Amino acid sequence: MVEATPRLEVVTREVAFGALVASHRARAVSLAWRLVGGDAAAAEDVAQEAFVQAWRALPSFREEAQLSTWFFRILVREANAWRRRMRLRSFWQELTGTEPAERRPTPDTGLTRRITAALDALPRGQRDAFVLVHMEGFSVTEAAAVLGSAPGTIKSHLHRALTRLRADLEDLDDAGVKGK
Amino acid sequence: MSNEDEHFADRLRAAWPAPKPSVGFDAALERRLAAPRPRPVWAYALALGAAAVAAFLLLREPLVIEVPALPAVASLAPPDDAFYAALDLEAEEEEWLPEDYAGLAEVLDL
């Protein structure tokens, strides 16, 4: 009877984690893919690392937020860490004059690259908010909880991001994509 | 958000569809979950720092502390008269007078 409680906790933890992976796997990869700029292998790596970190930190999860919100917070943090590592790596390669590693070719050479570049040019807060709300369908409240910001801040980020992206991608009109 | 903004976001989403997880995603995740937890970076930093301090202590010039040489015990000869003369330690014998004895007797009530 003494061991029943911890064992039950472990079982509950495994069940909760299994459900989290099953229900959020696709969205996690999709969100990571957009946050890392369209690199499929990096997106899977980031999503898996976020799941691993969530599994390890699950005993300390205090249920102050929803499990999914908590997980996506980890995922966004992991994606931003990946971007920082890539920036450091490219900086080092420029410094040493070594050739940068070839990025995997994306299916669409023109448009994807332009969208990625436009999103890359945004400040981190604006990019994260835009991807969460307009690309992945999070509500402003959910995005605020994931990013740890006030909803008003998220709305401000969204407005600025949209203004800038519309200026950068103005040819993305109703008739399709010009210059593709 | 205006309708134009919404349409723009819709078009952007449609033009940039995200991939689904690959077939091997679950297997790779299980492998990562089963792998032992990597040692934290601070542990490596601590070990590296300890090794650097140990190497510094071992490889630097040995520390030499000069201690003045002491004479060997066997070489010490007993002091001679000249030694005491130099120190002026020769005791002069005091002469006791009869009144000293009388005073002492009074004190001791003899």
Q: So what CATH class is A1-104?
A: mainly alpha
Q: Please report the sign of the dihedral spanned by the C-alpha atoms of residue A46, residue A47, residue A53, residue A57.
A: positive
- By C-alpha distance, the chain B residue nearest A177 is B15
pLDDT for residue A100: 59
- By C-alpha distance, the chain A residue nearest B9 is A134
> Which one has a higher pLDDT value, B52 or A111?
B52
A45 and A34 Cβ atoms separated by less than 8 Å? no
- Tell me the mean pLDDT in the region A2-8: 49
- Measured CA to CA, the distance from residue A45 to residue B28 in angstroms comes to 9
- Measured CA to CA, the distance from residue A91 to residue A46 in angstroms comes to 21
Confidence of residue A80 (pLDDT cuts 50, 70, 90): very high
Give the model confidence (pLDDT) of B62-98 as tens digits.
777 787 777 666 566 777 777 777 776 555 556 667 7
Residue B64 Cα, gap to closest chain A Cα (Å): 45
pLDDT for residue A61: 81
What fold does the segment set A105-180 form as a domain?
Answer: Arc Repressor Mutant, subunit A (1.10.10)
A12 and A90 Cβ atoms separated by less than 8 Å? no
Question: Hey, are the CB atoms on A48 and B16 less than 8 Å from each other?
Answer: no
| Helical spans, DSSP H, in chain B | 3-15, 25-34, 41-59, 81-87, 98-108
Share of chain A above pLDDT 90, in %: 52
Residue B6 Cα, gap to closest chain A Cα (Å): 8
Give the model confidence (pLDDT) of A22-48 as tens digits.
999 999 999 999 999 888 999 999 999
pLDDT for residue A14: 83
Taking 60 as the threshold, does the pLDDT of residue A179 lie above it?
Answer: no
- Measured CA to CA, the distance from residue B12 to residue A19 in angstroms comes to 31
DSSP assignment of A40-71: HHHHHHHHHHHHHHHHHHGGG--SSS-HHHHH
Taking 70 as the threshold, does the pLDDT of residue A119 lie above it?
Answer: yes
Give the model confidence (pLDDT) of B32-71 as tens digits.
999 888 777 888 999 999 999 999 888 887 777 787 777 6
How many helices (H) does chain A have, and how many strands (E)?
7, 2
Q: Does B34 touch chain A (CB under 8 A)?
A: no
pLDDT for residue A8: 59
> Which one has a higher pLDDT value, A175 or A17?
A17
The domain spans of chain A are: 1-104, 105-180
Least confident segment among A55-69, A152-166, B46-60: A55-69
pLDDT for residue A124: 92
Taking 60 as the threshold, does the pLDDT of residue A67 lie above it?
Answer: yes
What average pLDDT is seen over chain A? 84
Number of A:B CB contacts under 8 A?
A: 76
Q: In A, which residues are within 8 Å of B18 by CB distance?
A: 29-31, 33-34, 135
A154 and A144 Cβ atoms separated by less than 8 Å? yes
- By C-alpha distance, the chain B residue nearest A130 is B9
Question: Hey, are the CB atoms on B8 and A158 less than 8 Å from each other?
Answer: no
Letter string b/e over residues A95-124, b meaning 16 or more CB atoms within 10 A of that residue's CB = eeeeeeeeeeeeebeebbebbbebbeebee
Give the model confidence (pLDDT) of B11-32 as tens digits.
888 888 888 999 999 999 999 9
Helix (H, G, I), strand (E, B) or coil at A173: strand
- Tell me the mean pLDDT in the region A145-169: 92
Confidence of residue A142 (pLDDT cuts 50, 70, 90): very high
Taking 90 as the threshold, does the pLDDT of residue A81 lie above it?
Answer: yes
Confidence of residue B6 (pLDDT cuts 50, 70, 90): confident
